[in-house]
Structures are given as C-alpha cells and as structure tokens.
Structure 1
Amino acid sequence: MTEQLGGWAGKVLRVNLTTGVIHVEPTSQYHPYIGGMGIGYKVLWDGHVDDILATDEENKLVISAGPLTGSGAICTGRTTITSRSPVIRGDLITDGHFGGHFSPALKFAGYDAVVFEGKAAEPVWLRIEDDEVRLESAAAIWGKGMHDTFAWVAKTMGQSAQVAAIGPAGEHLVAQSTIQTQGGHSAGGHGAVLGSKNLKAIGVIGTGGVGVAAGNEALRQLDDHVLGIIGANNQGVVPNQPQSWAEYSSSGSRWRGGPGVQWGAADEPVDIGETPWDDKAKVGMRTSMAEMYFGREEANKHFRRAGGCHACPIRCFCEMKNPKMKSKYGLPTEHVTNVCLGFLDPWYAMGKPGHSPKRTDIQTVGGYLMDDLGVWSAYGQMSHVFREFHKRDFWREILPVAEFEAIAWQQVNDQDAHFMEFFYTTLAHGNGVLGKFLGCGLYQVVDFWHGPEPVSEADYRLDLGQDLAFMVVLHQKLNALTFALDNDLADLKGQPYSLFKDKACNIFNQSMVGGLHHASETAAQVGALINTTFNRDAQCHSHINLVNCGLPQGMIETIAAELWGEGAFDKVKHYTPINAAKIAFAKWSLVKNVLHDSLTLCNWMFPLVVSPDKNRDYRGDSTIEAQMFTLVTGRQTSEAELDHMAERVLHLHRALTVLQMKQMDQRNHHDVLTPWVYDMDPDKAFGDEGTIKMDRDDMQKSLDLFYAAFGWDVATGAPTRATLERFELGFVADTLEARGLLPA
C-alpha cells in the first residue's frame, strides 16, 4: 500500500541550461535528508566534480524548500540555496537563505526543489506555472536591476508571480552578490553562480496546495499553541522597555514595540502602545525593528509598516517611507523594505553616523541601491574595509591616481547619501580597482594581501584588470600598509590576519575567512565551535535566541542547565573553561540550525526553548518542530528522531567539505581560529570578566570534545565510518575511503 504523505510536493525539477532539457524526478529519494538544505547537500554530493569553481559550468545550484513550507505552519516561509560559493576559499559548498513567499509558491506549483546545471548560451529565465515549465529569453531584462526585473516578470506572468532573480552584480560575476526575491529578501553569496549560468530569474505561479496529513484544524491548534509561546525577533521574550504587564525588560531584546513607538508613515499613523504577551492580535507589532536601525525619532517619522514572510506573525522587516529618496536622490520610489544589514551596510561604509536625518538618508538610499543592484553585504565586511581604508587614507596608496582622483571623497567626508549610487554601482559592476577589490570577497583580499611572493597571475583569483606589474606593486603596497596598520594596533601588533581596528571586521575563522558573528562574543566556546563547522558564517541563531532572549541571567542559566547540564551557559564576556554541558549546547544548536534549514523553518525564531508566558515559568517547547513534522507529513516522529535526521544532514555537509577540500585534517585546515581571538586584551586572561578572549589549550580541548560528541575522528575532525554508517551514510564512507579521506 502506498504511503500517503503530506508536506512534500513530491517532485524536484532538473534544469540543464546547456541542453535546455527539463525533467522531473521524485522527491522521495531525498526524504531521509528532510528537504531544503538536505536536498541541496545530497544533490551536490551525487554530482560532485573535483577542482571546479563556483562559476564553472559543471557546478550545480539548488533552490529548495522543506516539507513544512506552504503548509501553514508558523514561520515556514524560508528558501534554501545551496551551491559552491565564490566568496569562500576553495569555492566550497555553502547555503544562502531568504524569506518571503517564493518557496511556498514553488510548493504550490508542485515542486520541492529546482536543480540548475550547465550554462545557457544566452541569458534566460525559468518560467514555472504549475506543470508548465520552460526557459525563455531574458534579453529584455539582462542588465536590469532587481526591481525592474521583478516587475517585468510579474507583468509577463501575472501579478501573483513570485520571482527570484539576480541583479547586475550577479551578471558581472561579482562574488559579493545575491539571489533575491520581492520585498527585500535576499540570499548572499550565490548571485555570481546564476550569472555564470546566464540565468537571470525564476518566476513561479502555483495554484495547488500543500497537503497536511492530520488536517488543517489540527495544525491550526498547534499554531495557536505556538502563538502562546513565541516572542519577538530572535525569540526576544521580554520587552525592550518596561511595560506594565511585564515582569522583566531588557535593552537588548528585539521586542521593540511598546509605548512611544509609532508607525508614523502609515496611511493612517499607528501608536503601538503596550504589547502584552497574551494579546495575539498584537504579535505582529512586537518587533517593530525600525527604531533599532534609525532611532526612535526618525523611525516614528518614516516607519510605514512591518513586513515579513509567508506564514510568519513576527514581521521583522521594516517598510520605510523617505520622500527624499525620490525628490533629492533621484530614485524611482520613496519606499524601501529591508532589515538588519540591508540598512546597516550603507551606514558602515559611510562612517557610522549617529541617528539623524542624514543617517536615515544613507540607510534608505543605500539599502534600496544595494538590493536593486544585487550586492551582498557579507555582514558588512567589505563596507568596513572601505571605511577603514578611507579613514587611514589607504585608498590613495592603493588605487591608480586617475581612479582615486575621480572619486567624490568629499561626499564620503560629508556623509552625503549621494555617494551611495557610486559606491554600490562600482561594486555591482566591478568597476576599476576599487570595485574589483571590494566585490571579490574578503578571503581573496586576505590572500592577495598576505599571499606568497612573487605574485603571479595564477596565485590569485583577484583579477584587477591590470597587468602583472601593477599586481606586484599593489601586493607590495598592501604589505607595507599591513605593517603600518599593525603598528597602529598595539594589542594586535604582528598578527597578519587582524586586519582592521574596527572589531566588526575581525576575521574569526582564519581558514574560511569568516567574520566575527555570533561566535565568542556571545556564547564563549559554544559560539566559537559553531563557527568552525560551516564553510561561511554559520548563520546559526539557535544559541542566539537564548543568549538574547532578555530573561535574567540566572533564569537563562537554569533553563540551559535543564536542557544540557550544569554550566552550559556563561554570562557574556565572563567565561568559564569548557565542559560537557557546553559541548551539548553547541551540538544541539548546530543540529537545530540544520533541522530548520531542512524543514525550511525560520532559525531566527526557532527553537522556542523560552517563552514570554510567566505561567510556564518562561519555558518554551522544543518539541514543536517534531509536532509540526508529524502533523504535516503524517509520519509520527519524535524530537529525538527528527534531530537524528538533521544530524545526518550535518554529517553529509562535513563529509562533502572533506571531499571538496581533498583534506581529511579538518582540525588544522578548516577549524582554525585567528590568532587575535587568543591574543586580544593582553591585560586580561581568558575567564576574566569583560573580555571575549579565548584560550588556545581550552579551545583545542573543546574541539576534542566537540568531535567526540559528533562521532568524528578526534585527531582530524573528519567523520568516521562507524558514524557515517550509523546515520545511513555508508556510501559516503565508501567514497571517502576510496580517496584516502576516511580516518583509519
């Protein structure tokens, strides 16, 4: 008897852009990997080719959804994009993610994923209307910005179309580029992959639905339970400011909605007022993040409404209305919708001015242009580089004289938002040395800067469009500047990877050149270990949703001890030596992250281990994901069983990294932290209050315990045969063993 399952749409599209052949295969072969990220990893494992770049024709890119997406389960509007990445040293496999409404539309059309391979002879776009799928010419939109592309595809297909596309940055094969969908939702690092395939956009109209095995009423009841324990963005469960109903408040919480907060640019302005935890009609007002990026006075003037993703009540996006975008800066609109780095990246580049109309202009104008051109912020890394180099007058030394003198540096000094057009256009088109330098990705800058001499064209992928003699001169200039910069940093002198005085620029994972993000600055060894595992910033919020929940320190420590053991949770900037509980916390965080990206459930909100409900002693419910999976698919699955499936996906990621690197010794070639992590704050020791400094011996012990917890070889950090077979990955072990990449 055939098993009747809900959740999965049942089909995966395979699109060969070289031949134009499109065919369908069953999703069932990917069920052991859940969906989303799991589908992506299995496709890339099966299609692995040695020694290729992200932009080579042989590379594949997978856009995928999980079984929960489109079902109506709360916070399940995510889309996962998996491919090799041009932003990562070695062009290793990475994932990008965006929200919005694209993946639900894909599911409604009957597909769990789309796999792209090959390269079209001319620019094309993929048109999906339920069972009708075809490639069409993109000549009319090649070279267009995101917004014009979205409008053109929607006009061609119909206004209900959901569109994913690249902008000029992706077309020009700029590593720092995005794939994006409507509403400011973008996934970073793979835009150049689609550009290299001459694929401009994917438009989807789906008129079907996603089956829920247990029925919609059962799922509605679970959604109601979720609404009782969900907080604000990043699962902040107490308000940012005191409110009469709240026992606690925390200035770090993203529960920003409360007295004094207004949506002043709405068609009918709204005063938020208090947002009690049990008022479900106000869940969508809790986050109101605009004041975090613009300050309350400016936010109250320009915040039009909150936006977000399919099936999500949190609404973490900010739609801003700034009439000067059109009247003063010549943009076609006075509206922009974005969140987080979409607003902060322009601010970083322009010197980080305080909250003011000037900052509002920079962030709204810059955010619009960055999205329209398809430029990826990479958590602001290259904008920090631009700012710091300008502060030290390095650009005068690095750039050719004519290029330097043509740049309107006075606009930068004046923090004039007019500069944003030049800045992001230069990056998106790879114009000049500046555009190529900032668009290539931080690892290439590091490798070019500190790479071996003599310089040869083969040594670096950083092609500055200059002759070899200029590259040699540039290399020498950068090394000279490194000496000057290190002398400017007394506490970091002589550390070649400590490139920037601004701590936000510091490279945390030396091997992958990943920036400091949710690492030791928030959760000691837990965050540090998480940032050794993936091939780019881990994008993991499982631990952050506890660290930043806003509850008192003692209460968080108690909840963490209940989940992982005594000593699992340290106070930020007051760390204790590694212990078994911290290892359990780190492993749990990664497994939940992979689970969410495979179910395509929002990891910015889940897991819900805490809640705003005092009657529950502020405890949440970590079984919700398993309850959702059971109700939607019809497969009775416990939390432990679902976590086991997610861990299988994580082992596949690790094995694929070993395979792509051709390197079993992950400990010494992948999981390496930068020296400044251990050498910062020379007047303090690891464990002193007030520092995020780590200890080398403690970190090596942490890796020992971490590897053992996952069943990886302690000496190398590579998965063992016993572990791979325990997770039904014996075929992976066979491949690694045949290549000499399996620990003995």
Structure 2
Amino acid sequence: MTYGFTGKLLRVNLTNGTVSVEDSSKYNSYLGGAGTGNRIIYDEVPLGTKPYDEANKVVFAVGPSTGTSAPCSGRTTITSLSTFTKGNAVVHAHIGGEVAQHMKASGYDIFIIEGKASTPVYIKIADDDVTIEDATKLWGKTTRETSIEIMKELGKPFTVTSIGLAGENMVNLACVINAANHCAGAGVGAIFGSKNLKAVAMYGTGAVHVADPAKVLQLNEYVMKDLIGANNNHVVPSTERPWAEYSHPKSRWTGRPGLTWGAAEGGPVDTGDSIPGDINTVGYRTQKSVFDHGAVAEKYTVKMTGCTSCPIRCSSTVHLPELEKEGYVSAVSNTCMPNFMWSVILSKFKDYVEEGDGKFYANIAAMSTADDLGLWDNYGELPKTIAYFIKNGYLEKILPAEEFAALRWDLYEAGDAGFIKDIMYKISTKSGEIANLALGAYFVAEKYKDVVGEDYLNAKAVSVMMKNGSSKHHGNECAAQVGALTNIFYNRDCMTHTVINIVGSGLPYQVQKRIIDGLFGEGAIDMPAKYTAMNESKAKFAKFGIVRQSLHDSFTLCNWVWPLTFSPLKARNYEGDLSVEAQYMTAVTGENWSKEKLDDAAEKAIQLLRAMTVMAYGTVDMYNEHDQFNDWVYDDDPDVAAFTEGTVKMDREDMKIAYKMMYKEMGWDEETGAPTRSTLEKFDLKDIADKLEEMNLLP
C-alpha cells in the first residue's frame, strides 16, 4: 500500500475529450503541490508557449499531508503560466476551501487540464468517474450561480470551482472561486476561459492512508496544544489577558470575552478566552471581521469559517441585509485582500445604517461583486491601479471622452460602491479602454508609458514591488532585506508569510531576536523600522523563508500558519518546532524524513523554478532582468537616509551586497543570480542543467 500519496495522476484533455489516469510516483521527489506543478509544466509545456495557447496546461496538485487531518492541510497549488507579469513565466495560485480534500479523496495527487474545448464545458470528478459535461447554459453566469446550478444538477456534496465573466473574457487578472469565496488568482481564471472551461466539480469518497495513524494523531494534539496560535500563527492576544505575559494590538488573536459573532444563528456567540493548550477553543481566537473592519463589523458577523482540516477559521462570514436592496449578495465570506482593499478606489463613503459604516459596506459590496465576477485584485494592485489613475488624472487621459463621461461619477461623488461595481463589470466584460487596467501592472505600464512615464510602477501607492510587475505581498517593511529578498524568487507576489508570521507574531522584539538569531546567527532580525546593514545571517533567514514557503506550497500546508516558528506557551520560552513537518512526513509516508531532508526536497522546487525562469527570460542575467525592485523601495521617505530609525526604505548599495549574499546562499552565480550546474546537480536536476547549457544559459 502507498501511504500519503495516492499514486495516481488524472489527465483531462479538453480538445479530444479523453480522460486518463497515470502513475504519479515519478513526481514524489517534488513532494506535490508547487514542486510537482513546476516539473510537469517543464516536462509538458513547450518553452515559448503563451498562457492562452492551447498548449498551456493547468496543474492542480496536493501533497502528502492532504487528507491526513494535519492542521491547516486543506490547500491546493495550481500551476500554469503567468498572464500578468513580464515573461509569462511559471506562477502558482493557491486555493483553500474543499478542493484539496475532494481531489485526494477521489484518489488523485495530481490533476492536469490540457487542450481546449470547442464549446463551454465543465469537468466532473467523482472518485474514478470523470466526465466532461456541457456548460453552455452556465456561460455568462456568476461563480456563485454556477456553483449552485452544478450542485443542483449533481447533488450538494460536490465542491465546485468556477470562473465568472472575467475568466470567460480572458481578463488577465481573473481568478477561480471555490465554494463561493475561496480564490485562486494568478490569472488561472483567464486560462480556464481560454480553454472554454467553466468549472471543475469534485466529490471524493475514498480514504487517505497513512503509515502511522497513532503518530499523526499524537502530532495533531501536540500542534494544537503546544504550537499553534491564531491567523498567521500570531501567538499572543491582541488585548491584555490574565493568562498572557504579552499582548499586541495588531495580533490576529482577537477573540476575547465580550467580543461576539453578533449575527450568529440563535444569537450572538461570545468568542471568550481561548487559553493556550485548550484545543476546543482555537477556532474562536481569530475574530477576523473585527480585525479587518473594526468594531462596526461585530454585529454583522455570522461566524468564522475556513478550509478543510483547519482549526483556525480565519475567514469571516458577514451578513449585511441592506446590501440586498442594492442588488448585492448580502452574505459573504473572505479573509484576505478582497475583504478590505477595493474601497481604495473611493475617496469618501456614504453611510448605510449608522454613521461611519460606509467603508465597511463598500468593501463588502465590492468583494461580493469581485467574487461573483471571478475578478482577482492581485493583492491589491488592481484597485490601487484604478485609484491611482483616477486620482492622478490619468484615467481621463487614457479613456475616450465618451467612455470617461459614461462612468458613474455621480456614484463616485456620493461615495457609493456602485461606482466600483460599474468598473468591475466593464473590466470583466472587456467593455472599453478601462478594461486594460486589469492587464497586470507591467503591461499597464508598457501600454500607457507615454501617459504615466516612470511614475506609475514607481509609486508606493500602487505598491508594485518588482520591475517585472509583481505586487508587494510583504517586502522591505517585513524584516528589512529579508522581506525584500524573498520577492526575487517568483513571477508574482511572493506571499512570504513565513517571515511576516515571525515579525508580526506579537511577541516582543527581544523574544523574537533570541529565537531567530539562535536559528540563523547574530543580526538575522532587526527591530521594526530600525534596520541595520545586510549580513549573512539575514541571507540565511531569507532562504529559510523561501524554502519553508516552498515546502508548505508543495507538502501542502497553509503558509498563513506554518511553519510553527513560535509557540504561545511561556513554558516553551515561546519557541516553536521546525521539525514538525518532517515528523508528519515520516508518520504519513512511513519513510524516515529529517528536517534537513524535507527542506532539501522543498528547495528542489525553488531551484527548478529559478531555472525555468531563466529559460523563460532567455538570459542568465537574472539580477538585472528579473530581480530588480521598483524605485520606491529605495526612494521612500526622500528626506530621510536608509537605516534611519522610523523608515523602512532600502539602500541601493547595501542591497547589491544583499543580492550577492542571497545568491551565494542559494548556490547561484553571485553576479547574475542564475543557478549553476553544481547546484542543479546537487538537487538531481542534471537534465535541467543540460538544457540550460544547450541554450547557453548556464553562468
């Protein structure tokens, strides 16, 4: 019997309508998820393929942890080609909800979508019964409507992942939505649309076998009692509690006596005290709606929800009945940027029920619309781009006069979210010039360079981190050079929760320093906004962040919680346990895995991704062509020098040193940032090194 892995790969070809099952074991050394996705795209998608070409593929992949009951193991990684950043290189999208569980329970480690259907279809997966179904009647429907229609047709146990109008119209920033509110971005929705694929419906009834069930349960108890905190593994409460040595107002451990889920069925539910070690109250720790929106959200909060196998419950479900009167879905759930970012488009907000609630209502209305349309905010880049073009007068310059005048400026002046909704629909249906604002920042800058010049990409207000168009999803504001460097590895926002979970944990700096410097060397972590020059300890810390993110995206675990670097327990001196993933891997697979061995497997995925990016860019000079930050990273606070207390700006000369240290830590050429043959062969990637040499792309 195979443990952890199912041993099966499902392939659905939309061009010829064939369904096949193959042995997936040849990919086991990549763990699953992101690692597996990278290898399949390398093996099967010809170099030079564009994201909307029929030859492009979409790879769903889960890892050995999926379906084992390990906390926060309900994530799926989706791999394809970028629609929205320079080079159209490989990107990963990540989705929670119920996809991972149903895919694994249906018997598959990997699910590959290839080809293109001639008419709209959806894929039905029910264990080994896999079919391609007609979706003509679903084309044009919202993601929510699509889910409801398919569940009616197939039965409620199915979990549906679908696209809306944005995906159908191949808007570069289109996402797929699972179970009404779980999103996978990175342009995957647009690639679905290019393949005439409306949705994937899954329902699995099989078991996931583990080698040592007793050990898995023992680890679960250990994690829940000793290690896990709240959302982002914040390990101290946001308010002073009699049992807590420390508290921090920005901690996501917001639950406390007197704070309720005010709109819960049957009456308000008090979140109470969730004392460390009490397994049964972990789900009350993260009152995310109040964290995101303030006190106004409490009375509208129905509950916290989340992904399969997750005790944290970080997704806030709110019900705003007043929105129904204006044509919005009034009960919505989300946890990340769509929850609170779209309101940046407006400069003021109309009140709904009480004074000051307008911004909250506007955010929920806009989020509801975006999810229905399957329109991805790109970690805030799209709403920030729209706001930037409006506030700087660029929108009037790029739009034909008639189109500009036709926008609902009356709603804008009233502070009404209907203005945002109107723009979202225009973008999602590609109605007019304004739709180009969803090309992705790099392509927006290229298209309108005669209008915006260098200002747009270099505007902190837009917060595009990289010159290749990747958004900032934690950068230099997060552990100085450490957070900045984690952005150079990807072809989209880096999502370095590994690092932000540490610096944002709520623990005092001196406690963080004791633990982090103990792991990576003296000077690994700076005080917030009191930065010091680059050193080798910081390079080791940055590599840890990237490798552990790769591990969680491959294994697959939620990197909003893992790794468990810190603990909420004073009795542990707040020290977490970085060996837990390897312990799970051993218990699940029955093979002996050390922390170092598992980290090496995760790094293999990163080394492969880097080599693939070199191929996509056609140059070894990754330092200049891929890894450069936009100028705002260095030019922020223009009257203040870098390393001055209170600023998070970076110093150009110091970052040149930082790049070299990071490249050295990764085993890359220190001048170009390209992987060397010796490093690739160390990770059993000799064939990749050979291909790079053939292309004259080895340093």
Shorter-chain TM range is over 0.9
Q: Give per-residue Cα distances to partners, 1:345-392, cap 9 Å, x unaligned.
A: 321222375993212221221111100100001111121122233233
Counterpart of 2:174, as a letter, is: S
Structure 2 residue matching 1:543: 3-state secondary structure: helix
Query: How many Å separate the matches in 2 of 1:498 and 1:363?
Result: 25
User: Which residue does 1:348 correspond to in 2?
Assistant: 344
Structure-to-structure mapping, 1:595-744, within 5 angstroms: 595-743=551-699
C-alpha contact (below 8 Å) 1:183/1:338 kept by paired residues? no
> Aligned partner of 2:305: which letter?
G
**Letter aligned with residue 447 of structure 2:** F
How far apart, CA to CA, are the structure 2 residues paired with 1:243 and 1:408? 48
The RMSD of aligned alpha carbons is 1.5
For the 8 Å contact 1:344–1:380, the answer to whether it is kept is no
Displacement of 1:89: 1.2
State the one-letter code of the partner of 1:33: Y
Q: Distance in 2 between matches of 1:653 and 1:140?
A: 39
Structure-1 separation of matches of 2:334 and 2:576: 29
1:276 aligned partner, one-letter code? I
Instruction: Give how far 1:497 is off.
Output: 5.1
Partner residue, 1:289: 288
**Which of the numbers 303, 326, 333 marks the counterpart of 1:337?**
333
Matches within 5 A, 1:485-634: 496=455, 498-500=457-459, 503-510=460-467, 512-634=468-590
* 1:248-263 correspondence to structure 2 within 5 Å: 248-263=246-261
Name the SS for the 1:9 alignment partner: coil
Corresponding residue of 1:323: 321
The superposition leaves residues 559-584 of structure 1 with CA deviations (integer Å, 9 ceiling, x where unpaired) of: 11111011000012111111111010
Asked whether the 8 Å contact 1:162–1:203 carries over to 2, the reply is: yes
Q: Cα deviations across residues 104-137 of structure 1 (Å, max 9, x unaligned)? A: 1011001111111111111111111111111111
Match of 2:374 in 1: 374
Question: Match for residue 358 of structure 1?
Answer: 358
Cα distance between partner residues in 2 of 1:231 and 1:675 = 36
1:659–1:736: 8 Å Cα contact kept in structure 2? yes
Match of residue 88 from structure 1: 85
Unaligned runs of 5+ in 1: 451-474, 483-494
Paired amino acid for 2:417: A
2:57 to 49, 57, 60: 60
- SS of the equivalent of 2:404 reads helix
1:266 is aligned to 264
Q: Residue type of the partner of 2:515?
A: I
Match in the other structure for 1:448: 447
Residues 1:171 and 2:168 aligned together: yes
Q: How many Å apart are 1:278 and its aligned residue?
A: 2.6
- Alpha-carbon separation, structure 1, partners of 2:172 and 2:348: 25
Amino acid at match of 1:714: E
The whole-number CA distance in structure 2 between the counterparts of 1:284 and 1:356 is 29
Q: Taking every aligned residue pair, what percent have the same amino acid on both sides?
A: 41
**In the aligned structure 1, how far is the partner of 2:427 from the partner of 2:656?**
39
Q: Deviations over 1:677-700 (max 9, x none)?
A: 223323222211111111112111
Amino acid at match of 1:639: K
- Structure 2 CA distance for aligned equivalents of residues 644 and 567 of structure 1: 25
Task: Determine if contact 2:441/2:464 at 8 Å carries over to the other structure.
Answer: no
- Matched residue SS, 2:379: helix
5+ residue gaps, structure 2? none
> SS at the partner of 1:378?
coil
Post-superposition offset of 1:705? 1.1
Q: Note the alpha carbon deviations across 1:499-531, whole angstroms, 9 max, x for none.
A: 54xx34132211x22223311011111011101
Mapped to 2, the partners of 1:581 and 1:186 lie a distance apart of: 35
- AA aligned to 2:345 is A
On the 8 A contact 1:255/1:286 being kept in 2, the answer is yes
Determine if the alignment matches structure 1 residue 35 to structure 2 residue 10.
Answer: no
Tell me the SS of whatever aligns to 1:509. coil
* Pairing of 1:157-196 with structure 2 (within 5 A): 157-189=154-186, 190-196=188-194
How far does residue 285 in structure 1 lie from its aligned partner after superposition?
Answer: 0.6
Once residues 456 and 409 of structure 2 are traced to their aligned partners in structure 1, the CA distance between those partners, rounded to angstroms, is 28
**Residues 147, 498 of structure 1: alpha-carbon distance in 2 compared, 3 angstrom cutoff:** closer
Change in CA separation of 1:735 and 1:642 when aligned onto 2, cut-off 3 Å: same
1:417, distance to aligned residue in structure 2 (A):
2.4
> For residue 459 of structure 1, what is the aligned residue in structure 2?
none
Q: Deviations over 1:238-257 (max 9, x none)?
A: 01111121111111211111
Distance in 2, Cα, partners of 1:741 & 1:724: 13
Corresponding position of 1:8? 5
Q: Measure the CA separation in 2 of the matches of 1:252 and 1:603.
A: 19
Q: Is the 1:365–1:420 contact (alpha carbons within 8 Å) kept by the matching residues of 2?
A: no
- Whether the aligned pair in 2 keeps the contact of 1:57 and 1:118 (CA below 8 Å) is yes
Q: Which moved more, 1:390-399 or 1:52-61?
A: 390-399
Contact 1:358–1:417 under 8 Å retained in 2: no
Contact 1:107–1:210, Cα closer than 8 Å, also in 2: yes
The residue that corresponds to 1:391 in the other structure is 391
Residues 381 and 441 in structure 2, CA contact (< 8 A), matched pair in contact too: yes
Please state how far the C-alpha of 1:279 moved relative to its aligned partner. Answer: 2.4
The 8 Å contact of residues 11 and 112 in structure 2, kept in 1 or not, is answered as yes
Separation in structure 2 between the aligned mates of residue 578 and residue 123 of structure 1, nearest angstrom: 53
Determine the structure 2 residue equivalent to 1:19.
16
Cα pair 1:75 1:601 within 8 Å, conserved: yes
Q: Cα distance, 1:425 vs. partner?
A: 1.1
The one-letter amino acid paired with 1:82 is T
1:388-427 C-alpha deviation (Å, 9 max, x unpaired)? 3323343233211111111111211221123343122112
Q: Which amino acid aligns with 1:136?
A: E
2:279: which partner in 1? 280
Does the alignment pair 1:240 with 2:233? no
Pick which of 437-446 and 194-203 moved more. 437-446
> Secondary structure, in 3 states, of the residue corresponding to 2:273?
coil
Separation in 2 of the partners of 1:638 and 1:310?
A: 27
Q: Measure, in 2, the Cα distance between the counterparts of 1:570 and 1:219.
A: 36
Deviations 1:179-220 (A, max 9, x none): 1201411011211111101111111111101101102x3211
Q: 2:199 aligns with which of 187, 198, 201?
A: 201
Give the letter for the 1:699 counterpart.
M
TM-score for the superposition, normalised by structure 2: 0.97
Q: Deviations over 1:464-495 (max 9, x none)?
A: xxxxxxxxxxx4xx14xx5xxxxxxxxxxxx5
TM-score (norm 1): 0.91
Note if contact 1:348-1:380 (Cα within 8 Å) is conserved in structure 2.
no
Write out per-residue CA displacement over residues 515-559 of structure 1, whole angstroms, 9 at most, x where no aligned residue.
233110111110111011111111121111101000001110111
Cα pair distance change 1:125/1:498, threshold 3 Å: closer
* Mapped partners of 1:391, 1:723: distance in 2: 48
Which of residues 97, 100, 103 is equivalent to 2:100?
Answer: 103
The CA deviation string for residues 322-352 of structure 1, in whole angstroms up to 9 with x for no partner, is 10121x2123x43111112121132122237
Give SS of 1:522's match.
coil
